[in-house]
Amino acid sequence: MERNESINIDSTLVSHLINKQFPQWKNLVVKPVAVGGWDNRTFHLGNKMLVRLPSAAEYAPKVKKEQKWLPRLAPFLPLKIPTLLAIGEPDENYPWPWSVYSWIEGENAATGHITNLDDFATSLSEFITALHRIDSTDGPIPNLGGFAYIGGLAVYDDEARQAFSLLKDKIDTTIAIKAWEAGIKTIWQHPPLWVHGDITAGNLLVNHGKLTAVIDFGGLAVGDPACDLVIAWKFFKSETRKTFRNKLPLDNATWARGRAWALWKASIVAANLTETNAIEAANPLGTINEVLMDYKHNL
């Protein structure tokens, strides 16, 4: 099979891979998860495991990265993360590496019940702080323009300004440009820190009303921690955002970049300059509004 060929990743394919490579699990039922991701296709394997397969060639390198680093990071983190159980190999029907992980009970934070948002924000800040404290030596470096790229947000300047122009009838473009420029004028000037790379409500699991797990580490890297702050504007409102910020020992410049990350991503989604999943596509104008209000409040 050609590596760039389109592949129908379904339960039949996954069952074939399991039967061939892990026959001890061949009698377990394979079925797709209720809410799938963009970069990967995920399937239940029985009741206690999941199979995770990259959906295209560009996502395949992330698989090896997760397989290498998640077992090393897990002992230092206060929340559950996926536990690697088996490493799947490419075959004639599927050309990329894949993984079997433990299943973590919970609902994603976008749809699940959260008892107290301040407690949720505190738990998330503690997770991020713990991640930052892990030795980042030899950690994966993001590509140019990657979400943790230390070179700054300026690589997205043209795209951001194009989005603002397209949204001129829907947002205050003057304030948007000011908030954007406040973020792109600085870069992270300290040793790189571990970042998740995609901390969104869809990658946070809640159980019994509390944050209990973080999933989908495809964006894992060492770099600028600003990229992990986007949730402050996309998911939190003013008071909860303040709680989240007060619990994270990061400087004002980093928060300005985080706000600019949130503004850029929401703007290109709202302006239809990119494709994304349903959770990411939800209410981008609301995120932009949070960013602009926060910028004006913190002038």
How many whole angstroms separate alpha carbon 64 and alpha carbon 61? 6
Give per-10-residue mean pLDDT for the chain (299 aa): 67 98 98 86 98 95 96 98 98 97 96 96 99 97 70 89 97 98 94 95 96 96 96 96 97 97 96 77 92 91
Whole-number pLDDT of residue 237: 95
Residues in CB range of 287: below 8 A, 6 or more apart: 233, 234, 262, 263, 265, 266
Please give the model's pTM, rounded to 2 decimal places.
0.93
Ordered by where they begin, the domains of the chain are 11-102 (3.30.200.20), 108-297 (3.90.1200.10)
Query: Is residue 8 within 8 Å of residue 186, measured between CB atoms?
Result: no
Tell me, what's the pLDDT at 148?
66
